[in-house]
Amino acid sequence: MPEDCSRLPEDWVRVSTTVHQPPATVWRALTEPQGLAMWLGRVDPPMAPGVATRIDFGDGDFFDVEVDLVRAYDRLSFRWRFLGVGPEAQITWTVTGDDRSSTFTVDDRCPGRPPSEVAQLKEGWRDFTERLTAYLTTGAQSRYRWRQVIDGGAHLPPTRWRPLREDGVFEWLPIGTDGDRQGWFFVVDNDGPRRFAITDWSMVPDRTLTFSVAIPQARALTTCEVRLTPHEGGTHLRVQHEGWGRLGLTDLHSRGLRHRFAATWAAALSLAEQTAHTRQGSR
């Protein structure tokens, strides 16, 4: 990896933090399931070279992980995909130090990232390193309870298929019509099917789609934005679904709904990826 931060590629994220703990203590927090569960998420199975695992945050968000290198007390390298879709990022965690303190460094690289995503990831990693520091300092759990937004993305190869056209959107997005308009968003998972009313549907073909999803008994709507942008010879399909913290429902109810919608969005993005690959070169 580059040693000089000033020479890092523009799509490379690096964040470091120093804690008053020896490397062995930091290493356990990075690699042992009980340690990771205190500041990041539940990992199952444990991190090991060649192992496919998952880091689950408990609110519907997760990373599917492929572990490449585990060098005890020093370096852990793996590849992960958020919600199991989208571009794969290469992550390296490095620990250096002595008996009194350690420096933990994250390197997160994925070719072709736009500057806006790099800035967002830097903030995300700073938050995670602060949570790691808090756990190592106090011994108390420092994980966030659950996120107030669902977001994710899929990288689509060059294709004539148009996911943000009136005919193409039905091929991957779980929606149904109510007469002559889009009327329902369908959630189908292990708890069974359920439909939610859609309002405020607005599409700019091949660019953006926005709409609201009504949650029964909630005091506010949730809002969705789907955006399509050029990316590394293809296009990037990005989803953001907000409003889970303002529903006015119980925390358990809101979190449960968010979990179900996150699973539905992950399946929809995966279907968009599959459809784009299947339709490469087709009209």
Determine the CATH number of domain 149-278.
3.30.530.20
What number is the average pLDDT over the span 162-176?
94
**Band of residue 170 on the pLDDT scale cut at 50, 70, 90:** very high
Query: Domain spans of the chain?
Result: 5-138, 149-278
Output the pTM of the full model: 0.91
* pLDDT above 80 (res 282): no
Q: What is the pLDDT of residues 27-76, one digit of tens each?
A: 999 999 999 999 999 999 999 999 999 999 999 999 999 999 999 999 99
State the first-to-last Cα distance of the chain, in angstroms, to the nearest integer. 42
What number is the average pLDDT over the span 214-239?
93
The pLDDT of residue 1 is 45
* Encoded amino acid at 81, one letter: R
**Band of residue 4 on the pLDDT scale cut at 50, 70, 90:** very low
Q: Which two tokens stand for residue 221?
A: 């709507």
The DSSP string of 197-242 is: EEEEEEEETTTEEEEEE--TT-SS-EEEEEEEEEETTEEEEEEEEE
Is 149-278 in the same CATH topology as 5-138? yes
The pLDDT of residue 50 is 94
CB 117 within 8 A of CB 231: no
**Band of residue 281 on the pLDDT scale cut at 50, 70, 90:** low
More confident residue, 189 or 151: 151
The pLDDT of residue 112 is 82
Q: What is the pLDDT of residues 117-127, one digit of tens each?
A: 899 999 999 99
Q: What is the pLDDT of residues 100-113, one digit of tens each?
A: 999 999 999 998 88
* pLDDT above 80 (res 179): no
Quote the crossing angle between the two packed helices 23-31 and 115-138, to the nearest 10°: 120
User: Does 3.40.1360.10 match the CATH number of domain 5-138?
Assistant: no
